[in-house]
Structure 1
Amino acid sequence: MINKKIYCLAAALAILGAAASCKKAIEIPGGSESRYSMVYLPAAATNLNTYILRMTDSVQQIALGATLGGTGQAEKDIQVQYQVDQKMADAYNAAKGTTYPILPAGAYEMPASTVIPKGQLSSPLVHIKINPSKGLELFKQYLLPVTIQSISDGVQLNQNLRTAYYLVSASLNLNDFTEFSRDKWTILSYDSQEPAEGQPNGGLALNAIDNNTASFWHSKWNGGETPMPHWLAVDLGETKTLHGITLIGRQSDNKGKPKDITVAVSTNGTDWEDVGQVTGKDTNDKQKYFVTTFREARYFRITVTSGYGDTRYTHLAELGAF
C-alpha cells in the first residue's frame, strides 16, 4: 500500500512538472506581448455589410467600431483614423466583377476618428449618418468602403481586416401603397390571347383585370404556341404615378407562370419607357413589386420574357398596380 502511494505521488509530481514545462514553452519571447496585438474593424470580416434604408428625408445610422485583437488590452489610448476611399471601391468592383457606385458624399457624414481607451479592447461605437434623400436613387445599391487610415505609433494594424465594405440602398415599404382601383381600366393591347380556353377560364387579355381569380389571360396555344416574349398593356383611364405592380398567378399547378417581367409606362399609348424589371414567383398567391423608377403615366405594360417551366406560353389570373 505504501509503495502504491509513493507511486501515485511521483506520478502527480511528474504531471505538474510537465504542465509547468509546457507553460514555459509557450511564453512569448522578446518583451511586451502587446506587439502581437493588432487593430482591426470587426465589420471587415464580412464580405458585404448590407443595409436597406427607408427613402425618407431623415438621418439613419450605421454603427462603426474598432477592436484590438491579440494577447491583451490596450496599454495606452489608441487613436484610430477612418477614411472613405474611392480607390477601395474601385478595387472591390474589380475583384468581385461588380459595378457599385460609391455612396454620394453629400448623403452621409462619418466620424473621422475614434479611440480604443487604455485598458480596453474596443472603441466606443460611433455612427455613420446617412440621409437617403440627399442623393440616393430609389433601390439603387451604393458601396461605402470604410478603411482605417492610420493608428497610433507603436501599434500594429491588421491589413487583412482594415477595410469594411457597406452596401447601402434606399427602399420603401410596400404596405404604404394602396392598389389603384381598376374600375376605369381597359386593355390597350396585347401580343396574343387564347379564346379556346373557353369558360370559366376565359383566356382573353381582359380576364387579367376582371377581378376574378378563377379566370386568366393565356397567350396563344391553339394552332401552335407563339414564343416569348408575351405582353399585355393596360389603359388606367387616368394619369397616375406608377410605383409598382401586383400579380396573381393562374390558380393551378400549370407551368408557364411569369418569371422575368419588364414593366414599361407611356403617356400616349405609343411611346414607352422601361421603369423596372420584376422577377415573379412560381405561386398562386398575390405578389407585389416596386418598379425601379416612378413615373406619371396613363398606360402601363408588362412584357413576360420567360416563364417557369421553360415554356413558350404564359398566363396570369390578375394584374394590378399601385
Structure 2
Amino acid sequence: MRRIMKQNILKAAILAAGFCCTVGCSDNDSDLTIYIPDAGTAVKANFYIEDEPYVQTFNVAVTPETYPQLTEYGLPNDAVVHLQADPGKVDEYNAKNGTEYELLPEAAYDLTEEVLVKAGTPKSEEAVITVHAKGNIEAFKEYLLPVSITSVEGAVADHCCQTIYFIFRGSMDASNMELLDRTGWEALSASSEEPKEGDWGHSGLKEACLDGDLNTFWGTDWSTQHPQPPHWIVIDLKKTTHIQGFACQAREEGYDGPKEVTVEVSDDNATWTVAAKFTDIPAQGEFRSFLPAAVDGRYLKVTITAVNGGPHVTVSELNLF
C-alpha cells in the first residue's frame, strides 16, 4: 500500500513539474517581459479608400531576459497590456529618419486600447487599428501613427521595443472616380479636325470629344493634309479646376485612338505645366489614370504623341476627375 502511495506521489510531482514547464513556471518567470514585435520599424499599409474602413492588426508578445530569443510558453498568468496612439513620437521619428510625415488624424482611426496575453501563450490577442479613411485623409498621402505600450498589468514591460510605427497610405481606384462636370467646357483649338466625318454622323470636329456621345469623335485631318503626330487639343475649363486624373475614350471601332499622351495645364493658355505623361494606352475602351500629383488649372492641353494603328487619331471623349 505504501509503495502504491509513493508511486502516486511521485507521479503527481512529475505532472506538476511538467505543468510548470508548460506554462513557464521557473525561477526565471520574473524575467519575462512584454514587447511589440517590429517595434521601432515602419510598418507600411497601403489600401484603397472606400466606404468600408481598412483594418490593420498587430500583436504584443512575451520575451525572456535573453531577448531576442522568444519564449515558447508565455507567462504563468494572464496579463493585460494597455496601448495608446503616441503623437509626440511623430517629430522624433521624422527627425531621426529625415522624413516629413504628418500624424494620422484622430478622426481617421480607432485603436484597441488594451489586449490580453493569456497564460501559457507567447503573444496577445490581436490589437486592431480601424482606419476610417474616406473623408478623413488625403488620397496618395502617407500618414504616420506611432502606437506605444503605456502600461502592463500582470507582467512587466520590456526595457525596449515599446513603440511601433504605422505608415498609412490610402489610394483610390480610378475606375470608381466620379468624372468632373463638363458643363460649359469649350474646345478652344486643335492641331487639326476632320469635318468629313460628319458625312457618317461622326462629327470629326474638336467639340465632339466633349459632347457625351460615343458615336461622335474628334478626328485629325485625313482628307487633305494627313498630319503626323503629335496631335493636340486645348480645352477651356472656364474656371480654375482641381484635377486628380485623366480619362479618354477611344472610338467604338477600337482603332486609331491615342497610344501616348501628354497632359498639360495652364492658368493663362500661354504658359504650360506638364501634369502627366501616359504610355501604352489600350486601343479599345476607356482609359483612366490618376496624375502623379493633383494639379490646378483653367486650361487643359492634351498632346497625342503616338497613335494606335496609324498617324491619324480619333478621340470619342475626354474627361477629368
Equivalent of 1:225, from 224, 228, 235?
228
Q: What residue number does 2:59 align with?
A: 66
Identity %: 12
RMSD: 5.5
Asked if structure 2 preserves the Cα contact closer than 8 Å seen for 1:34 and 1:72, the reply is no
Match of 1:125 in 2: 127
State the alpha-carbon separation in 2 of the partners of residues 43 and 203 from structure 1.
61
User: 1:147, CA displacement in angstroms?
Assistant: 4.5
Secondary structure of the residue that 2:209 maps to in structure 1? helix
Structure 1 pair 77/306, CA: closer, same or farther in 2 (3 Å)?
farther
CA distance in 1, matches of 2:256, 2:177: 32
How big is each residue's C-alpha offset from its partner over 1:102-158, in whole Å with a ceiling of 9 and x where there is no partner? Answer: 235565566595343442642463546657656x4x424123143546665755589
1:88 corresponds to 2:89: no
Specify whether residues 304 and 164 from structure 1 end up closer, same or farther in structure 2 by C-alpha distance, changes over 3 A only: farther
8 Å CA contact 1:202–1:216 kept in 2: the answer is yes
Looking at structure 1, the residues matched to 180 and 261 of structure 2 have their Cα atoms a distance apart, in angstroms, of 22
- Over 3 Å counting, the alpha-carbon distance change for 1:171 and 1:37 in structure 2 is same
Distance 1:315 1:144, change over 3 A: farther
**Is contact 2:133–2:170 with CA below 8 Å preserved after alignment?**
no
Distance 1:50 1:44 in 2: 19
Whether contact under 8 Å (1:66, 1:116) holds in the other structure is no
Deviation at 1:40, TM superposition (A): 2.9
State the secondary structure of the residue aligned to 1:208: helix
Distance 1:225 1:255, change over 3 A: same
Partner of 2:7: none
Q: How does 1:1-322 map to 2 (within 5 A)?
A: 32=28, 39-41=35-37, 47-53=43-49, 62-68=55-61, 70-74=71-75, 75-82=77-84, 83-84=86-87, 85-86=89-90, 87-89=92-94, 101-103=101-103, 108=108, 114-119=114-119, 121-123=123-125, 125-127=127-129, 136=137, 138-148=138-148, 152=152, 154=156, 156=158, 163-169=164-170, 177=178, 180=181, 186-190=186-190, 192-193=191-192, 195=194, 205-209=206-210, 211-213=213-215, 215-218=217-220, 225-227=228-230, 230-235=231-236, 245-251=246-252, 257-262=258-263, 264=265, 266=267, 277=276, 279=278, 281-288=281-288, 293=294, 300-304=299-303, 307=306, 315-321=314-320
Report Cα offsets for 1:5-34 as digits up to 9, x if no partner.
Answer: xxxxxxxxxxxxxxxxxxxxxx99x85589
Query: C-alpha displacement at 1:240, in angstroms?
Result: 8.8
Aligned residues: 277
Comparing 39-48 with 276-285, greater Cα deviation is found at 39-48
Q: Give ranges in structure 2 of 5+ residues lacking alignment.
A: 1-21, 63-70
Change (3 A) 1:172 1:250: closer
> Which deviates further from its counterpart, 37-46 or 256-265?
37-46
Tell me the CA shift for residue 302 of structure 1: 3.6
Query: Residue by residue, what CA displacement relative to the aligned partner does 1:241-275 show, whole Å, maximum 9, x if unpaired?
Result: 66665410245665762445435365x6567787x
Normalization by structure 1: what TM-score?
0.56
TM-score (norm 2): 0.56
Query: Conserved in 2, the CA contact under 8 Å of 1:40 and 1:68?
Result: yes
Structure 1 counterpart of 2:93, which letter?
A: M
Q: Is the 8 A contact 2:219 2:312 kept in 1?
A: no
CA distance in 2, matches of 1:269, 1:35: 71
Q: Structure 2: how far apart are the matches of 1:176 and 1:224?
A: 34
CA distance in 2, matches of 1:219, 1:36: 79
Q: Residue type of the partner of 2:46?
A: T
Query: For 2:110 and 2:129, how far apart are their aligned partners in 1?
Result: 7
Could you say if the C-alpha distance between residues 114 and 174 of structure 1 is closer, same or farther in structure 2, counting changes exceeding 3 Å?
A: same
